[in-house]
Structure 1
Amino acid sequence: MTSLVDRVWYGRGRPLGWLAPLAWLYRAIGDSRRRKAWELRNEPLPVPVVVVGNITAGGTGKSPLTARLVKEMSAAGWRPVILSRGYGGKSGHYPLLVDSDSDPSAAGDEPVMLAQATGVPVVVDPQRRRGAAFALSRFLGNVLICDDGLQHYALPRDIELAVFDARRGIGNGAMIPVGPLREPVSRLSGVDFVVVNGAENEDPSGRLESFEGLEHPELFPMRLLPSSLIQVTTGHHAPLAEIAGRRVHGLAGIGNPARFFSTLRQLGAQVRETPFPDHHRYRARDLSVEPGEWLVMTAKDAVKCREFAPDNAWYLEVEAELPDCFIEAFLNRLEECSQQLTDSNQMRTDHG
């Protein structure tokens, strides 16, 4: 399926061009939703809201970026709370407070993975404004960060980040279903930062001048670097060198499995690939191995396989590497937003 998407959406042509009327309709519906959300917008929330998302369909590296931003905010003295829709999960009630031991079938795989990776509160609710209100009512933190949700306009936001995969870019530049765009490229003029996962950058400033002809004043590269191998059943860590020369059955139920398999090969593994659809619900039969193989998956897959994974099942932990100048710019912008909210709240109190 992924190779078909790569050919149809991320190639040079537009083989689905005959679906252009549907692409026009998709854009019109999106524009209408944005206008209605703007007209019905509620008061800003009393704490800064950060939204990490993309304007293309498919995996771009949003969750690792979210985890890194949480780490940086925590180090700077903030108390972040992650908001998520919980895609792939189904709970009997919302909002749902998630931790590393939560059931991914109820909470969704990405929220559980982020709770495990960051240790901060994660709130799942398809209505993210309601999830935000829940987090604030419980005094869970003083900054909210939404993993995905650039198009979820019912949630007020102070900082927006759009993430791209460097190899895929904007694909053929067309809207869904002709191409991969959820929103037109002009949408980027309204975001605070554009981050390109896998971009090569030799500029000593740490910034990118442009990306696929797109220019933005705050354009930065990002790399996902593998940090360790972790045994799914025990949490035991093994050095990355253990995978070099080893026969591996690689599993990936993510938006861009090819990137994961490429990483395994760069580490020296001999990889037998099995891609699954994003948010795939794993069963024990999916975790087959041949004699002498290791089973290696992503962290997002691992949270769904803990109960039935074999002893030779491992997941690859990755971390987002970002320029220092980006971290500084992001934290400065966060401080500015916080001060603006404080001043605005004070003015309303004075005139109340």
Structure 2
Amino acid sequence: MSGKISTLRNRAETGIAQAWQRRGALAWALTPFAAVFAAASGARRAAFAAGWLKSVRVGVPVVVVGNVTVGGTGKTPTVIALVEALRAAGYAPGVVSRGYGARVERPTPVTPDTPARLCGDEPLLIARRTGVPVWVSPDRVAAASALCAAHTDVDVIVSDDGLQHYRLQRDFELVVFDHRLGGNGFLLPAGPLREPLSRRRDATLVNDPYARTLPPWPDTFALKLQPGDAWHLANPALHRPLAQFAVPPASQGVSPAQPGGAGPGAPRLVAAAGIGSPERFFATLRAAGLAPRTLPLADHYAYTTNPFADLAADTILVTEKDAVKLAAWNDARIWVVPVEAALDHRLITLVVEKLRGRPSA
């Protein structure tokens, strides 16, 4: 039953995402509700700007990496890369996050051994990849304050998401888009926008695996995600270059009567992803010369059931975000594909100079 529900959810999310890319009948029909949403969210922003609702400075500079659209855009690899860049610039960064699905009622530290079901998949991945202090809480002000109190050496906070969490004062706002950009340009629920595209920010990052022209927005940079060698889930010390997973397309044929790739003629190589835009992961693999059968899953897929149990495949490639929820699985077919975000040095300079209080050249 849960598998059917997940499939229906995936189809619904895909249908909504497609509808949000164009100004069709459904989008226009929902514009009255979008107007209500715009009025409510605009009033909230104005209340913070006027000081009627109080924002809090936590004592160290804050960089928010977020988005104005619904869904994943590549924020997590961006946060990881930005943390490393700030550390290289001499800072001691810490990270705060809401932690999607996190079961916490108060600010909670995340260690590499914290179960993903307690802290959320993205904070756990950030903690494992960076080694910096990571704290989660629905209240990012509380999370940042607790982190700074526990780690007095931390001198800059990077907020994973939280662009609309105006109570946390910030020194730099980095808005991340993927290839969908602002979709049809409508606010929720008629489109994917939480805030207008014209919203002020310090810089924009576009994660587009299709390498299209960047939009003509000020201080806009391309985000390049480079895959690394895959590592084996059951034996993380075992690494393989992606090229070794290449399979001739002729051996990958699957008939429509074989949903999910089960049964005779199933593909040897399957790629699965429970991220905001699974197609980004699949496009990355194709660009590396692979031709996998694809299994898109819902963002933050919980893996309470095993979607691979009846999958006839020799190898299953997953993202690091998925892998943090699969550690207890005994499936020798699963390999994890890490990605590294390459940030433009001009963007890093812009962030550092803003934090140091100097104008950008």
Q: Do the structures match in fold with TM over 0.5? A: yes
Match of 2:220 in 1: 219
Instruction: Indicate yes or no: 2:79 matched with 1:79.
Output: no
Structure 1: 4+ residue segments shifted above 6 A: 199-202
State the distance in 1 between where 2:307 and 2:55 align. Answer: 46
Amino acid at match of 2:222: P
Whether the 8 Å CA contact 1:61–1:197 is kept in 2: the answer is yes
Change (3 A) 1:269 1:311: same
Deviation at 1:13, TM superposition (A): 3.5
Whether the 8 Å CA contact 2:81–2:340 is kept in 1: the answer is yes
State the distance in 2 between where 1:14 and 1:171 align. Answer: 15
For 1:1-352, what aligned pairs fall within 5 Å after superposition?
1=11, 2-11=13-22, 13=24, 15-38=26-49, 39=51, 40-91=53-104, 93-140=105-152, 141-165=154-178, 167-187=179-199, 190-198=200-208, 211=215, 214-216=216-218, 218-236=219-237, 237-245=239-247, 247-283=268-304, 285-288=306-309, 290-336=311-357
Change (3 A) 1:255 1:241: same
Change (3 A) 1:201 1:8: closer
Identity across the alignment (%): 38
Deviation at 1:191, TM superposition (A): 0.8
RMSD: 2.2
Structure 2 residue ranges without an equivalent (≥5): 1-10, 249-267
Whether the 8 Å CA contact 1:49–1:144 is kept in 2: the answer is yes
State the distance in 2 between where 1:45 and 1:323 align. Answer: 28
State the distance in 2 between where 1:265 and 1:310 align. Answer: 24
State the distance in 2 between where 1:254 and 1:48 align. Answer: 29
Deviation at 1:89, TM superposition (A): 2.0
Q: Give SS of 2:167's match.
A: coil
Structure 1 residue ranges without an equivalent (≥5): 203-207, 338-352
Q: Give SS of 2:228's match.
A: strand
Amino acid at match of 1:186: S
Amino acid at match of 2:287: Q
Change (3 A) 1:43 1:83: closer
Q: Give SS of 1:223's match.
A: strand
Give CA deviations for 1:237-266 in whole Å, capped at 9, x if unaligned.
222222222732211111101111122222
Give CA deviations for 1:296-347 in whole Å, capped at 9, x if unaligned.
111111001111141221111001122222222222222227xxxxxxxxxx
Whether the 8 Å CA contact 1:281–1:304 is kept in 2: the answer is yes
Whether the 8 Å CA contact 2:56–2:167 is kept in 1: the answer is no
Change (3 A) 1:48 1:244: same
Give CA deviations for 1:8-63 in whole Å, capped at 9, x if unaligned.
01135453211111111111221122233342324522210000001111221111
TM-score of the two chains, using structure 2 as the length reference: 0.84
TM-score of the two chains, using structure 1 as the length reference: 0.86
Deviation at 1:199, TM superposition (A): 7.1
Give CA deviations for 1:101-120 in whole Å, capped at 9, x if unaligned.
11110100110011111111
Amino acid at match of 1:32: A
Whether the 8 Å CA contact 1:195–1:222 is kept in 2: the answer is yes
State the distance in 2 between where 1:306 and 1:284 align. Answer: 14
State the distance in 2 between where 1:80 and 1:163 align. Answer: 20
State the distance in 1 between where 2:108 and 2:44 align. Answer: 26
State the distance in 2 between where 1:100 and 1:308 align. Answer: 17
Whether the 8 Å CA contact 1:14–1:178 is kept in 2: the answer is no
Deviation at 1:94, TM superposition (A): 1.7
Change (3 A) 1:160 1:309: farther
Change (3 A) 1:14 1:43: same
Whether the 8 Å CA contact 2:243–2:290 is kept in 1: the answer is no
